[in-house]
Amino acid sequence: MKFLIAFVALGLSFAAGGPAQASDRLNAHERQAVIDELGKALGETYVFPDKVPALVATLRAKAEKGGYEALQSDRDFAAAVTKDLVDASGDMHFQLGADPRWVAEYRANEGKPGSVSAQETEFETATNYGFRKIEMLDGNIGYIRLDHFADPQAGYDTATSAMRFVQHADGLIFDLRYNNGGTLEMAQLLASYLFASGQDRLLFQYYYNERGARVERGQWVLAGLPGKRMPQVPVYVLTGSSSFSAAEWFAYALQKLGRATLVGQTTAGGAHPVTRVPLDDRFFLQIPFGEIRDPVDGGDFEGIGVVPDRAVPSIDALDVAHREMLQGLAKTKAHADAAWFLPAVDVRLDHAAPDPAVLTRAQGRYEGRDLVLENGRLFYRWRGRFSLALEPLGKDLFAAEGADDYRIRLVSKDGRVVAMERVFRDGTVLRYARLD
């Protein structure tokens, strides 16, 4: 049983990727049949059976009053019923979907363990299994932006390659600000890299309903992984208001276990796993069918959201986390040069614009070097052929394009720039006197 938990109430569906094949006509009899089948599915599967009568009564009452009569397309009807289910239950995991192709593939693969539909394969390959960006930030900080959690059966190679890419990082940032959920087993795989091997560590514990039976399970740190584990590396997780379900659980569990610092905004608050049930040849119901509990005190965040350790606007979360991580690393001898990269992060957070007056004063001829102002940007040039753009890091300090081993610093006297210095990371300074 794959544990799928994904954001659907805002139209950010994870599994059945691609446009639904909606009908142009939907009559009253067909609408009523869907509602009847939906009621049966709720009774058999919904995690809170005591709430089913009220949910079904809400839908039937609206149908009897003609509330769905104007909705003749599958898509419009599905959207309206989804909204009513979410409004009545408060659970954003509900979705009535219209997708004949998905239903057909589900039925063709039913009973085949581990099967993956063609639609899911198309969606995952087109989105690189959720891995949007992987890079090394200044200061040897690994950065992984993940926009959904794919089924590791399909995304295993991509996920393990991503972790191999960052395995020598001195710090690690997972960006889940725009992650709408997915399969919890992928969260388990990635989280396992953050703990030592041979250590029993519960990540998630949960139960769900399957064919009328209650199933209880736990997901633990995996014993075997390709690549290097990172149990001592500091970890930050970025969150946003649209971080949902599996993304929330990844952040929440690591926070509870003291393994990660969360930076950003409180998440959406969708803690329940879901499954999909076909209702007829066109419609399916995505339905919450279990509950997950954290590994420390058995809590969850349904309807509340995960509260970050550092509450900042999500748009600033990456720079805040990067700066805090560099500050922490700079305190140790092994990473003393982390402070070298802090000015660039500070400038981004302060939204500091270059002072045109400083740029104007700086342009001129220096010993073997020139500073040239073009279209409001300062360029560092030498030997008539080499040219690098300069980015302000402070009033008189600049970063040179593509170079992280030196900076350009202006030396002023009586309001006039009299020299330019190349300041190297090891403290070496080369000075070039101004000639004009």
Task: Output the average pLDDT for the chain.
Answer: 89
**Model confidence at 389: pLDDT above 90:** yes
> Residue 22: pLDDT band by 50, 70, 90 thresholds?
very low
Region 139-156 average pLDDT: 95
Q: What is the pLDDT of residue 106?
A: 86
**Model confidence at 430: pLDDT above 80:** yes
| Percent of the chain's residues with pLDDT above 70 | 92
The predicted model scores a pTM of 0.84
DSSP, residue by residue, 189-226: HHHHTTS-TT---EEEEEEEEETTEEEEEEEE--S--S
Total residues found in the chain within this entry: 436
Query: Where are the chain's structural domains?
Result: 4-103, 113-274+291-333, 356-433
**Model confidence at 8: pLDDT above 50:** no
Among 23-32, 152-161, 217-226, 282-291, the range scoring the smallest mean pLDDT is 23-32
> Residue 3: pLDDT band by 50, 70, 90 thresholds?
low
Residue 420 carries which side chain, given as an amino acid letter? M
| Residue with token string 């009564």 | 57
**Model confidence at 117: pLDDT above 70:** no
Identify the bridge partners of residue 364 per DSSP, sorted by sequence position.
371
Q: For residue 61, what are the contacts with CB-CB under 8 A and spacing of at least 6?
A: none
Q: Select, from the ranges 22-31, 200-209, 331-340, 374-383, the one with the highest average predicted confidence (pLDDT).
A: 374-383
Region 319-334 average pLDDT: 93
Q: What is the pLDDT of residue 113?
A: 59
What are the C-alpha distances in Å from 176 to residues 145, 180, 366? Answer: 6, 8, 47
How is the beta sheet containing 171-175 ordered, strand by strand? 131-137, 141-146, 171-175, 235-239, 261-264, 310-311
Looking at the domain 113-274+291-333, which fold is it?
A: 2-enoyl-CoA Hydratase; Chain A, domain 1 (3.90.226)
> Residue 20: pLDDT band by 50, 70, 90 thresholds?
very low
Region 385-412 average pLDDT: 93
**Model confidence at 17: pLDDT above 50:** no
**Model confidence at 315: pLDDT above 50:** yes
Q: What is the pLDDT of residues 215-262, one digit of tens each?
A: 888 899 999 999 999 999 999 999 999 999 999 999 999 999 999 999
Q: Do 15 and 6 form a contact (C-beta atoms < 8 A)?
A: yes
